[in-house]
Structure 1
Amino acid sequence: MAQAAALQSSRMLRILLLEDSALDAELVTEALLASGLTVFVERVVLEEEFAGMLRDGSWDLVLADYLLPGFDGLHALALARTQRPELPFVFVSGALGEEVAVEALKRGATDYVLKDRLDRLPVTVLGALAEARERTQKRESQETLQKLLDERTSLLHELDHRVKNNLQLLLSLIGIEIRHAEDEATGRVLGRMRERLQALGAAHRDLYDGNGSSRFDVSSFARGLCQELTVSIADVAIVPEFDLEAIEVEAAKAAPMALLFNEIVVNALTHAYRERHGKLKIAMHVRDGRLTFQLSDDVFSPEEKQAAQEGASGTVLKGLARQLDASVEWPADDPTVLVRVLMPVQEVG
């Protein structure tokens, strides 16, 4: 009685039984009822009947013999998996060898019971139902997570679109202000603000280029920034050269890193390369959790190095460096290196 109570289902189980022997069908039904299960068993014999019954979505389980008139259990299994892939399917057969049983399980059968061991059938049935519920719950959880992911992705795309539009609007407004500036100094200040906004826009573009929002490809950004600036800044004929490792960092660093690198490169091009050609050599690598960003040329004169350091936007650089826990160095003892930035980073794999 205790076993029967343990096996008792909370509701009537609807079982589709594929069995050509009426006696065996009675024995299967009796084995289930004797264990305390409440069942409704519908017996079918022919393939057409079985296929038609499968279309009824109310079945909880299929029990099937292996040897059947006109077709076999593996064919029945294939039909069930095509029409009702989530439906538990258990073979109940007296002619199911080990090789056939293994093949049936490979093709999607839930379990099997031999007819001379029908005492195992109730436990097998409940196990198959529990496995099916677990699969269903897992699928529903995955579908829920996918729905949440889709919603989040949609929101990110909307946010990305709005940020791009707002940045473009600000750039357009600053462009208007530059054209109407009353003096050259004001125009230069507004021009620097435009360059900073463009750097932010480039960082945002790289951040939302399909890699998601959790990582920022800082080496790719640095390359693109230097290529754009060496072309766009007037009165500069500089060839950029790169020695960059592939480095990705957390997205939270994207904006301050973009602004810091932009500030340093623009300052160098404006003050350290005045009235001459040269190379803008950018090196970037990570060692022991520290990123080094270095700007160099074959040689800088002392006057060029001094002009660059004095021309740097000290307050802006200090604020950005503080936010990144970085240090900005202007090596006086190395004529090839103009400026070097060192900062701790946690690379994103």
Structure 2
Amino acid sequence: MSAPDAARTLRLLHLEDSPPDHALAMAHLRRAGHHLDALRVDTEVDFRRALVERDWDVVLSDFNLPGFDGLSAQRILQDSGRDIPFILVSGAIGEDTAVAAMRHGASDYLLKNNLTRLAPAVEHAVAAGRERRARLRADRELAASRQRLSELAQHLQTSIEMERAAIAREIHDDVGGSLTALRFDLAWIGRHAPSPEVQQRVANALETVTHAIESSQRIMHNLRPAILDQGLVPALQWMAGRFEKRNGTPCLFRTSHEAMQLPVGVPLVAYRFAQEALTNVSKHAGATRVGIDLSLTRGVLSLEVSDNGRGLSENDLTKTRSFGLRGLHERADTVGGWVDVSSGADGTVLMLSVPVAAARNADGAPSYDDDEDHDPSSWGAP
């Protein structure tokens, strides 16, 4: 121990039925410079009571005690849940017994006829115990910090989706409604304007407004995918078709179920996962074939996005600014899921797995989540 540790009062519980042996052990410790707050007990009842009533730095225990032995005392200490170093000090202890005690967590063992090692053994056990408890506290604090960080990430994801939904509704109600009304007015003007020049101007304006409506719809779908109102399967089918049309890359969608009833939040997480995965494919993979596979087996939803592109290198997976993959992991964690990444020369596979509870309608058939939000695809519909 360091000098401050040596000067610190040592709280010691001594399980010993011989007062002279107790006095001798305490004398050795005082001679080594320890200030002691020691209590001697010699029965199981008193030992249990002392463990409950006080905090101790170390427990010294004789092996042969009235009614029980040192190994029993060690088990009592372990069962109490107290992390206190335990040292056996006995006049007669066999090697097998000593090994058994060490195997079950004893810090050390000594013979009463050779107590020269008592003070170093106590100092080492107490220091090791403090380090162990400090490490456990640090581990708990780290786990708590990670939990808070995960909760913050979940809160941010939820807040982002809520804000996206709010913006999408505003675009739908204000911008979309105004653009649709403007298109009807321009169409009326075009029908009633006698001048060909005015009609041409109206036609040009109608084309601009139609483009603005289409752009608003695209923004709406990116902000809040209204297609999810119809279910995850139709939404992924639509996404695969849209990806293939936009990129000219074949994108095959397969599913084990035509309809799935999923917990709240899971469809959106799965949709965003596929959206981010396809974005990465279009930007970086250089693939000529893409697959999306959705399955629900034994209570686990699996969504796999695969491509035959260039694959991801080790640097791609570990680089500090790999926020795309990190975002996938964080988003999956919000619904208790996880993401697996497999990549090689033959392409990349991203898989989302989410444990879900089976849910069905009253008639036993799978059903979709209901959502009362507006569908922006209705803008400008005839």
Q: Secondary structure at the match of 2:7?
A: coil
Q: Is the counterpart of residue 284 in structure 1 residue 298 in structure 2?
A: no
- AA of the residue aligned to 1:153: S
Pick aligned residue for 1:90 from 44, 62, 87? 87
SS state at 2:6 partner:
coil
Q: Structure 1 unaligned runs (5+)?
A: 206-220, 234-238, 244-250, 262-281, 291-323, 325-344
Higher normalized contact order (CA 8 Å, seq sep 6+, divided by chain length): 2
The residue that corresponds to 2:238 in the other structure is 228
| Partner in structure 1 of residue 172 of structure 2 | 175
Query: What's the Cα RMSD here?
Result: 4.0
The equivalent of 2:124 in structure 1 is 127
Counterpart in the other structure of 1:9: 6
Aligned with residue 49 of structure 1, among 30, 46, 49: 46
SS in 2 for 1:55: helix
Q: What residue is the counterpart of 1:190 in the other structure? A: 213
Q: What's the offset of the Cα at 1:123?
A: 0.3
Q: SS of the residue aligned with 2:82?
A: coil
Q: Any idea what SS the aligned residue of 1:156 has? A: helix
Could you state the TM-score of these two structures normalised by the residue count of structure 2? 0.54
**Other structure's SS at 1:54 match:** helix
1:257 aligns with 2:279: yes
Q: What does residue 241 of structure 1 align with? A: 252
Unaligned runs of 5+ in 2: 184-205, 244-249, 255-272, 284-304, 314-323, 325-346, 352-382
Give the CA deviation at 1:174.
2.6
Q: Measured at CA, do residues 187 and 74 of structure 1 come closer, stay the same or move farther in structure 2, by a change above 3 Å?
A: farther
Q: Distance in 2 between matches of 1:35 and 1:126?
A: 10
Preserved contact between residue 31 and residue 119 of structure 1 (Cα < 8 Å): yes
1:109 and 2:106 are equivalent in the alignment: yes
- Alpha-carbon separation, structure 2, partners of 1:115 and 1:7: 28
Instruction: Kindly indicate whether the alpha-carbon contact (under 8 Å) linking 1:242 and 1:283 is maintained by their aligned counterparts in 2.
Output: no
Q: Structure 1 residue 136 and structure 2 residue 133: aligned?
A: yes
Matched to 1:190, the amino acid is I
Q: Is the Cα contact below 8 Å between 1:178 and 1:187 reproduced in 2? A: no
- Partner Cα separation in structure 2 for residue 134 and residue 159 of structure 1: 37
Deviation, structure 1 residue 10: 2.3
For 1:154 and 1:287, the matched residues in 2 are separated by 35
Matched, 1:149 2:155: no
- 1:69 aligns to 2:66 (yes or no): yes
Local SS of the residue matching 2:113:
helix
User: CA–CA distance in 1 between the matches of 2:5 and 2:97?
Assistant: 31
When structure 1 is superposed on structure 2, of 99-108 and 67-76 the one drifting more is 99-108
Kindly tell me the number of residue pairs found equivalent between the two proteins: 242
Gap change, CA 1:199 and 1:114, over 3 Å in 2? farther
What is the CA–CA distance in structure 2 between the aligned matches of 1:79 and 1:92, rounded to whole Å?
A: 17
For residues 21-79 of structure 1, give each alpha carbon's deviation from its aligned partner in whole angstroms, at most 9, with x where no partner exists: 22211221111112222213211111111111111233211100111110111111121
- TM-score using structure 1 length: 0.59
Counterpart of 2:83, as a letter, is E
Matches of 1:257 and 1:132, distance apart in 2: 52
